[in-house]
Structure formats: C-alpha cells, structure tokens
Amino acid sequence: MGLSMHDAATSRTKVERTSDVDMVVRRSFDAPARLVFRAWSDAELFRRWWVPASAPVRLRTCEMDVRTGGSYRLEFGEDEGPVHSFFGRYVEVVPNEKIVWTNEESDDGALTTVTFEESDGKTLVTYHDRHGSKEALDEAFEGMEGGIAEQFEQLAAVLEG
C-alpha cells in the first residue's frame, strides 16, 4: 500500500493515533445531528454506509438495538465462505449526541465512542477506539498488515477506478 496512493492531507476525514491505545477519526457532515445519528442508529441505513457498496466484502447480517444495554451483531462474508463476526453491547446511548459500544469478538476488544456535535447546522462526528492495551493495538496493527490491508487495497482500487 503506497503512501502516495491516497492524499491524506486533503481528505475531509482525519485519522489520528492519539496515544499507544487510542485511534480517533473525525469528519464534519452538512446536516443536523439528529439526521447523522439516525444514519448511525438505524440498521438499514447503517449497513449501507458502514460497508460501502464498492467494498469487496459483503455484510450478510446487521442487527443493532441502539439503546443503553442493547446489543449488536455484524457478520461479514459470502454465503458459502467463512464468516467474520463482530458483536458487543451499547454501554451508553444518548440520542443525537453519543453512542458507546464494546467490541467483544476478541478478549481485549476496543471500547468505541462516537460523538455528534452540532454547530450551525453542521455535525462533527468523532469516532474513537480505545484499546485495552498497547499490545492489543499492536495486534490490531499486525492484523492490518495482513488480510485487512489487502481488503483496503482492493477497496482503494475500486474507489479510484
């Protein structure tokens, strides 16, 4: 994956590793927070963008009960192929403001916090993954180097083509 393939400097999406265990992604949307929140909390809407149509993976299951104490389950894979599952619970949901969920597919999965901050009709979305340890993030890093990085390359190729 070449560094020049993608112009991070001009992208509207900001990705930062803010510490050994934290990753933050930010972007502003030209809409009020309640609409952006709806796209994050309605499973039918969520599945349309979490896995963009151009992505080389298929989301076969997307179940979300977005309320404090609710749970979610996402399953990726073709009907015949292996299935990769992601699941956890919503530990805090404040409508139009905040969603916090666990990632329980691994023992020390990250805690994810998404906040929606509205100002002048625009909404700043901040997505924050906090890993349990530096080691956990390092492992996520190792994983990235392998299979997932390949998927991103395919994804990038599709997007550029």
Partner 1 sequence: MVQYSSAALDAAFAALSDATRRGILERLGRRESSVSALADAFDMTLTGMKKHIGVLEQAGLVTTEKVGRVRTCRLGGRGLRAEAAWIDGVQQLWDARFDALDGIVEELKRKEQSDGPEHA
CA angle 84, 1, 47 (to 5 degrees): 35
Q: Which is nearer to partner 1, 11 or 85 (CB)?
A: 11
* Residues 6+ away with beta carbon under 8 Å from 152: 1
Report d(CA 130, CA 93) in Å as an integer. Answer: 17
Query: What amino acid is encoded at 64 in this protein?
Result: M
Task: CB nearer to partner 1: give 27 or 89.
Answer: 27
* Between 5 and 83, CB nearer to partner 1: 5
Q: Could you list the residues that contact partner 1 (CB under 8 A)? A: 1-3, 5-6, 8, 11-13, 15, 17, 20, 23, 25, 27, 29-31, 35-36, 38-39, 45, 48-50, 52-55, 125, 127, 134, 137-138, 141, 144-145, 148-149, 152-153, 155-156, 159
Least Cβ distance, residue 115 to partner 1 (angstroms):
15
37 backbone dihedrals φ, ψ, rounded to 5° = -60, -40
